[in-house]
Amino acid sequence: MTTTTYETETRIGPTTYRLRAFADPDLFVEVSGTDTSGLLVAEGNLRLPAGAGSSVGKLLGQVLDALGKLGAPPPRGGRHRPANANQPWTDELDEDLRDTWLAASPGAPAADLIRAIAKQQERSPASIRSRLARVGCDPDIAGRPLSPEAAHLLGVQGRDQGEVRATPDSTGVVGG
């Protein structure tokens, strides 16, 4: 019988993994991992019946993937919560937001300004946009206060129209 050998090496982070697999007649798999200084940090050997390679390989892949996810940090693409998410707004924060918005040039892109303010205040752009209307600013046009008509459409009362949000009337419709 002919011995078939497969060898490969890959680097994952600071670890270099070496895999050697061969059939003679059973399947043998040898894995080792060394860090950048050459220190052995991973090691393992498997001996499998010749016909079990594919099935056991799939099973091991699933198990190792699941175990790796248990101890892994959350994925980078996961949802990021700003530091001040769900924190109450103070009168001072509202005033700062309003002053920053109204001091902006009317030609400035509103979305860019919202993102910049969100980063500065460590809140989400959605929360900044929502809060702008509540403090009497037009969230669509930088530097512009919220008109009474727009406040009515958005169901809020801006600073120039009072300090309380509109409440539903007896039919459940939000009024101005």
Residue 132 lies in a domain: yes
User: 54 and 104: one domain?
Assistant: no
Q: Within 13 Å of residue 98, how many CA atoms lie on the same side as its CB?
A: 17
Helix axes 91-103, 125-134, angle to 10 degrees: 90
Nearest residue to 18 (alpha-carbon basis) of 33, 40, 39: 33
Residue 167 lies in a domain: no
Is the pTM of the predicted complex or chain greater than 0.75? no
For residue 61, pLDDT over 50 is answered with yes
Q: Write the DSSP symbol of residue 78.
A: S
Q: Which domain holds residue 14?
A: 4-59
Give the position of tokens 């993994």.
Answer: 17
Q: Within 13 Å of residue 129, how many CA atoms lie on the same side as its CB?
A: 11
Residue 169 lies in a domain: no
**Interatomic CA distance for residues 157 and 148, integer angstroms:** 8
For residue 103, pLDDT over 70 is answered with yes
pLDDT, one tens digit per residue, over 114-127 is 999 999 999 999 99
Output 160 or 110, whichever has higher pLDDT.
Answer: 110
Residue 141 lies in a domain: yes
What confidence category does residue 69 fall into, taking pLDDT thresholds of 50, 70 and 90?
A: confident
End-to-end CA distance of the chain: 87
Name the domain count of the chain. Answer: 2
What confidence category does residue 72 fall into, taking pLDDT thresholds of 50, 70 and 90?
A: low
What confidence category does residue 58 fall into, taking pLDDT thresholds of 50, 70 and 90?
A: confident
With H, G, I as helix, E, B as strand and everything else as coil, classify residue 114.
helix
Residue 154 lies in a domain: yes
Residue 175 lies in a domain: no
